[in-house]
């Protein structure tokens, strides 16, 4: 069973890594909607997968935050990605699997997954 | 909500929105012929006046501006009452709020407790400046208790961010394993 001694070991390991500073302008902020609508639609497993992928790839420039209801409950779980100098990207109807792809394609390689965005979702409805 | 742990996450997010600095989540399981599961969420947020407390479980009352409905508290109340349990909200302006749900987990309509560790980790990760305490007890012949406290994690971490992904993952696994040990592995998970 996991003990707090393991947290100490993790701390020491991370303190060594913290010496390597990344450029602040590379920071990516990922915001997950965590109001009742988001939670009921499955925001927590999306957040869980995001954390797993970020940890697995040691992405130190990604910070994760939450927001309340932004008024598009029918599109929850909603994940917004903010990058310096770029337009915000809003992903809708997210799942853990979609999140994993957003991490590799968008957060790591810089290519937003257009088909998961709110633009693609509303276009599909209008057609 | 498919799991009570999602209700807990939802209610605790209300504490975050209420400007709380410390939230205590209590889960007490009393086994026996009529088992009881009591869940409390206690915060030191800005609290509510009597009139608001009275309306808080009404799905057509909300403080938010994007929608005219607020389902969160109503859903938690329903989850408790469907099992023949009870639900209450106590609050004082400027002091804080306590939400209590008592459920009968053996009832046919009982929702499973679910992944409380994921809920705790989600709260710690998205509001790392706050203190979150999770206190889980199993009563009865062989009483067990487990407490997870961000203040304790912070002390160990010595400046390593509480919300960094590897730390959040550790906290999630650590809480999940200890919780299963305390409550009994296959009971609610």
Q: What is the CATH number of the domain that holds A29?
A: 3.40.30.10
Say if residue B8's pLDDT is above 80: yes
Which two three-digit tokens encode residue B173? Answer: 């696994």
Q: Alpha-carbon Rg of chain A, whole angstroms?
A: 16
| pLDDT value at residue B187 | 58
Q: What are phi and psi of B115, to 5 degrees?
A: -85, 85
The answer to whether position A9 is within a domain reads no
Say if residue B32's pLDDT is above 90: no
DSSP letter, residue A117:
B
The answer to whether position A18 is within a domain reads no
| pLDDT value at residue A19 | 63
Those of residues 18-57 in B touching chain A at CB distance below 8 A are none
Q: Average pLDDT over chain B, rounded to whole?
A: 91
Give the span between the Cα atoms of A17 and A34, in whole angstroms: 30
Distance from CA of A99 to the nearest CA of B (A): 15
CB-CB neighbours of B36 under 10 Å: 17
Cβ contacts (< 8 Å) between B163 and chain A: which residues?
63-64
Say which of A44, A45, A55 has its CB closest to residue B169.
A55
The answer to whether position A12 is within a domain reads no
Q: Which of A36, A64, A67 to mutate to test the interface with B (most CBs of B within 10 A)?
A: A36
* Cβ <8 Å between A47 and B177: no
What is the domain extent for residue A60?
Answer: 25-126
Mean pLDDT of B115-138: 96
* Cβ <8 Å between B126 and A6: no
Say if residue A22's pLDDT is above 70: no
Say if residue B67's pLDDT is above 60: no
From the list B104, B93, B112, the residue with the least C-alpha distance to B34 is B104
| pLDDT value at residue B71 | 83
The answer to whether position A60 is within a domain reads yes
Is B115 exposed, middle or buried, given 0-12, 13-18 or 19+ CB atoms closer than 10 A? buried
More confident residue, A84 or A98: A98
The answer to whether position A8 is within a domain reads no
Give the span between the Cα atoms of B168 and B100, in whole angstroms: 27
Say if residue B23's pLDDT is above 90: yes
Q: Give the domain ranges of chain B.
A: 4-183
More confident residue, B69 or B83: B83
Cβ contacts (< 8 Å) between B172 and chain A: which residues?
48, 51
Residue B57 confidence class, pLDDT cut points 50, 70, 90: confident
CATH number for the B4-183 domain, one of 1.20.81, 3.30.300, 3.30.565, 3.40.10?
3.30.565
The answer to whether position A2 is within a domain reads no
Give the span between the Cα atoms of A116 and A118, in whole angstroms: 7
The answer to whether position A14 is within a domain reads no
What total number of domains does chain A contain? 1
- Which range (A8-17, A88-97, B77-86, B173-182) has the least confidence? A8-17
| pLDDT value at residue B11 | 94
Residue B64 confidence class, pLDDT cut points 50, 70, 90: low
| Chain A CB within 8 Å of residue B173 CB | yes
Give the span between the Cα atoms of A125 and A115, in whole angstroms: 13
| pLDDT value at residue A76 | 96
Residue A126 confidence class, pLDDT cut points 50, 70, 90: confident
* Cβ <8 Å between B64 and A18: no
| pLDDT value at residue A23 | 64
B174: nearest CA partner in chain A? A2
Say if residue B45's pLDDT is above 70: yes
Residue A16 confidence class, pLDDT cut points 50, 70, 90: confident
| pLDDT value at residue B188 | 55
More confident residue, A122 or B61: A122
Which two three-digit tokens encode residue B92? Answer: 């004082």
Residue A127 confidence class, pLDDT cut points 50, 70, 90: confident
Residue B66 confidence class, pLDDT cut points 50, 70, 90: low
Which two three-digit tokens encode residue B184? Answer: 């009994």
Q: What is the pLDDT of residues A58-94, one digit of tens each?
A: 998 999 999 988 889 999 999 999 999 899 999 999 9
Of chain A, the percentage scoring pLDDT greater than 70 comes to 94
The answer to whether position A13 is within a domain reads no
């Amino acid at each position: 069973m996991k003990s707090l001694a393991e947290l100490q070991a993790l701390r020491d390991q991370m303190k060594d890594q913290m010496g390597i500073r990344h450029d602040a302008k590379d920071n990516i902020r990922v915001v997950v909607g965590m109001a009742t609508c988001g939670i009921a639609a499955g925001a927590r497993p999306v957040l869980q997968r995001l954390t797993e992928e970020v940890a697995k790839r040691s992405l130190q420039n990604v910070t994760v935050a939450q927001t309340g209801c932004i008024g598009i409950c029918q599109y929850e779980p909603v994940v917004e990605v903010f990058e310096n100098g770029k337009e915000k990207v809003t992903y809708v109807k997210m799942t853990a699997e979609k999140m994993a792809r957003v991490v590799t394609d968008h957060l790591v390689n810089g290519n937003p997954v257009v088909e998961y965005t709110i633009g693609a979702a509303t276009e599909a409805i209008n057609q | 909500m498919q799991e009570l742990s999602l209700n807990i996450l939802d209610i605790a997010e209300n504490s975050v929105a209420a400007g709380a600095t410390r939230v205590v989540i209590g889960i007490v399981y009393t086994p026996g012929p009529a088992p009881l599961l009591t869940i409390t969420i206690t915060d030191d947020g800005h609290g509510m006046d009597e009139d608001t407390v009275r309306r808080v479980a009404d799905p057509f009352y909300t403080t938010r501006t994007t929608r005219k409905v607020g389902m969160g508290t109503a859903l938690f109340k329903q989850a408790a009452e469907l099992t023949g349990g009870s639900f209450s909200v106590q609050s004082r302006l400027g002091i804080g709020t306590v939400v209590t749900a008592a459920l009968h987990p053996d009832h046919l309509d009982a929702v499973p407790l679910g992944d409380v560790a994921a809920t705790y980790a989600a709260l710690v990760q998205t509001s790392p400046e706050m203190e979150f305490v999770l206190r889980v007890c199993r009563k009865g012949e062989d009483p067990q208790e487990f407490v997870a406290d961000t203040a304790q994690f912070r002390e160990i971490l010595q400046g390593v961010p509480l919300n960094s992904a590897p730390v959040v993952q550790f906290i999630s696994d650590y809480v999940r394993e200890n919780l299963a040990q305390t409550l009994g592995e296959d009971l609610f998970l």
